[in-house]
Amino acid sequence: MNQFLKYYHLEQYLFSHVSERFQQNHVMSAFDFFCIIIWKANRAKSKIAKRMLARGHANLQCAVNAVAGDIANAPDHSSRLEVLIDRWGFRLPMASAILTVLYPDEFTVYDVRVCDVLGDFHDAATKTRFADIWSRYSEYLAKVRESAPEVSSLRDKDRSLWGQSFASQLEDDIAKAFGAE
């Protein structure tokens, strides 16, 4: 039973196991890939699985092997994001989540809560040309890096901004009695 404890704190599992394994050998199991999907948006797992299988792969492991290979073989970070968006059909929030786990020092999750705190970048998710997506995401990434100067890692800066949004929203909801008044 102890072998399953690592999944309780899914984010910790992703960044301590999945990220390290990918960095070592550039492969990923379907289990680990869908752990990333579930971490970002559990509701999306079935839709993503269907879309991946519709590309003609025999099973999800074959599809994940192809995704991991495409990411690992991309020559630079921009190309990695482009592979996920243009070739595999992921939207920016999910593509950035996948790359954040695989390259945590180079990518951060594009998230509406963080956009709210930063007061900008909501339009990045609506762009259709990859060059425009990359441009806005790069600006977003730079702004996240600038934020929370007391925090060193990119991942913790992202967490801090997300936490700021969460706390602010909860305080506002409590003040308004969650609309019950």
Q: pLDDT tens digit string along 115-155?
A: 999 999 999 999 999 999 999 999 999 999 999 888 889 99
Residues 150 and 133 in one domain: yes
What pLDDT does 181 receive? Answer: 73
Residues 56 and 12 in one domain: yes
Last residue of a domain, one of 70, 104, 138: 104
Evaluate whether 112 touches 120 at the Cβ level (below 8 Å).
Answer: no
Last residue of a domain, one of 88, 104, 120: 104
Residues 21 and 78 in one domain: yes
Residues 11 and 32 in one domain: yes
Whether residue 160 has pLDDT greater than 90 = yes
Residues 34 and 91 in one domain: yes
Domain that holds residue 169: 108-181
Residues 62 and 75 in one domain: yes
Residues 133 and 178 in one domain: yes
pLDDT more than 70, % of the chain: 99
Within 13 A of 36's CA, how many CA atoms are on the CB side? 28
Q: Report the number of distinct structural domains present in the chain.
A: 2
What pLDDT does 1 receive? Answer: 59
DSSP letter for each residue of 108-148: ----HHHHHHHT--GGGGG--SHHHHHHHHHHHHHHHHHS-
- Say what the pTM is: 0.94
Last residue of a domain, one of 72, 104, 136: 104
- Closest by CA to 108, choosing from 160, 41, 48, is 160
Residues 83 and 115 in one domain: no
Residues 174 and 132 in one domain: yes
Residues 73 and 12 in one domain: yes
Residues 73 and 30 in one domain: yes
What pLDDT does 96 receive? Answer: 98
pLDDT, one tens digit per residue, over 2-41 is 889 999 999 999 999 999 999 999 999 999 999 999 999 9
